[in-house]
């Protein structure tokens, strides 16, 4: 399977995605291929819709997951609650190359998800993990950075860089 990262504008990046009903061998293979694509692009998170798949799941960098003792695959993820504290940091998106914006996110989020083995997780994420999970979870629920980007570009303007690393 040869995957390419979908770039804005593309309808799949802003539509409500289909829930994953069953974790099939095809989904597990897709996850492996997504890992390769994300690593080659120096990303920390990649949603299925970013590679053209109408499925509600995403992956995060395995080292980041280990650092926070969290899963690296999030199937049908839900952000259940947020902390009151927020912070604004600069972020990039693989589907919007060379564009970096200051995005306001909650410092902590309570997440409910299932990994690729079917194991259920419910935990509180903080730090960079909380930021990545919010960005990727929203991407599966129509709130893909398009809403944030549209607003922020009008308010603050986008800033581009040659380097796309965090």
Three state DSSP letters for 68-134: CCCCCEEEEEEEEEECCCEEEEEEEECCEEEEEEEEEEECEEEEEEECCCCCEEEEEEEHHHHHHHH
Question: For 158, phi and psi rounded to 5 degrees?
Answer: -80, 150
Along the 166 residues of the chain, how does pLDDT read in single tens digits? 789 999 988 999 888 899 999 999 999 999 999 999 999 999 999 999 999 999 999 999 999 999 999 999 999 999 999 999 999 999 888 998 888 888 889 999 999 999 999 999 999 999 999 999 998 876 555 434 444 454 345 445 555 443 333 3
Domain-by-domain residue ranges, the chain? 18-160
For the stretch 107-142, pLDDT in tens is: 999 999 999 999 999 999 999 999 999 988 765 554
State the fold for domain 18-160: Peptide Deformylase (3.90.45)
pLDDT at 102: 86
Answer left, alpha or beta for residue 143, where phi above 0 means left and psi between -120 and 50 means alpha.
Answer: alpha
Indicate the pTM of the whole model: 0.84
pLDDT at 158: 52
Q: Report how far apart, in Å, the C-alpha atoms of 52 and of each of 46, 56, 95, 105, 125 are.
A: 11, 12, 11, 26, 27
- Longest CA pairwise span in the chain (Å): 44
Sheet containing 159-160: give its strands across: 86-93, 96-106, 159-160
pLDDT at 142: 42
């Amino acid at each position: 399977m040869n995957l390419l990262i979908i770039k804005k504008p593309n309808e799949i990046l802003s539509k409500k995605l289909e829930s994953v009903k069953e974790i099939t061998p095809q989904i597990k293979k897709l996850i492996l291929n997504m890992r390769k694509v994300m690593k080659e692009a120096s990303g920390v998170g990649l949603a299925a819709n970013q590679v053209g798949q109408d499925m509600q799941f995403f992956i995060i960098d395995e080292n980041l997951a280990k650092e926070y003792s969290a899963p690296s695959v999030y199937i049908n993820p839900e952000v259940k609650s947020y902390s009151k504290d927020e912070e604004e940091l600069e972020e990039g998106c693989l589907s919007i190359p060379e564009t970096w914006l200051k995005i306001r996110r909650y410092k902590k989020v309570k997440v409910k998800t299932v990994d690729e083995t079917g194991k259920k997780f419910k935990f509180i994420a903080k730090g960079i993990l909380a930021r990545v999970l919010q960005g990727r979870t929203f991407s599966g629920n129509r709130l893909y950075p398009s809403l944030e980007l549209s607003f922020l570009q009008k308010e603050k303007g986008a800033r581009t860089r040659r380097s796309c690393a965090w």
